[in-house]
Amino acid sequence: MIPKRHGPAKRLEVIDLAACPDCAGQGWTRGIFHDIKCNTCGASGMVSKESGEALPAEVLVLQLRLRLNQRDRRLAQLESQQNSKGGPHQDYIGMKNPAGIGGGNWTGD
């Protein structure tokens, strides 16, 4: 039987992430002759904030995707609020410069 991966039975929780304390979120540490992959975080630079353990790659990708979706929704919300305010630039939308391309924008004031 194939496990259900979407719908009401599958609810993803947002796990709090923190920078790895050993590599300071870099994913690598400096060795004597070369850089070494961080063993604490598995070279991802992120660990679980609660336990301090590295997350499996599949879980980490899902967590980062959840955060990206949240940021996209917030950005769209802020852009819609900004566009609805209007302002001086609204007076010039759809108008062409009668002086042509590169002509002045002197209004006679």
- Over residues 18-39, the pLDDT tens digits come to 999 999 999 988 888 888 999 8
| Separation in Å, CA 13 to CA 39, 59, 62, 63, 64 | 25, 10, 10, 8, 12
- The pLDDT confidence band at residue 4, using thresholds 50, 70 and 90, is low
Q: Token pair for residue 90?
A: 């609204």
Strand partners, 39: none
What percentage of residues in the chain have a pLDDT greater than 70?
A: 66
Give the Cα separation of 32 and 30 in Å (integer).
7
Q: Token pair for residue 2?
A: 């194939």
Give the Cα separation of 29 and 92 in Å (integer).
55
Predicted TM-score (pTM) of this structure: 0.59
The ranges assigned to domains in the chain are: 17-85
Helix (H) or strand (E) run with residue 28 in it: strand 28-30
Burial of 60 (0-12, 13-18, 19+ CB in 10 A): buried
Those residues whose C-beta lies under 8 Å from the C-beta of residue 61, and which sit 6 or more positions away, are none
Top pLDDT among 13 and 106 is at 13
- The pLDDT confidence band at residue 64, using thresholds 50, 70 and 90, is very high
What is the DSSP code (8-state) at residue 29? Answer: E
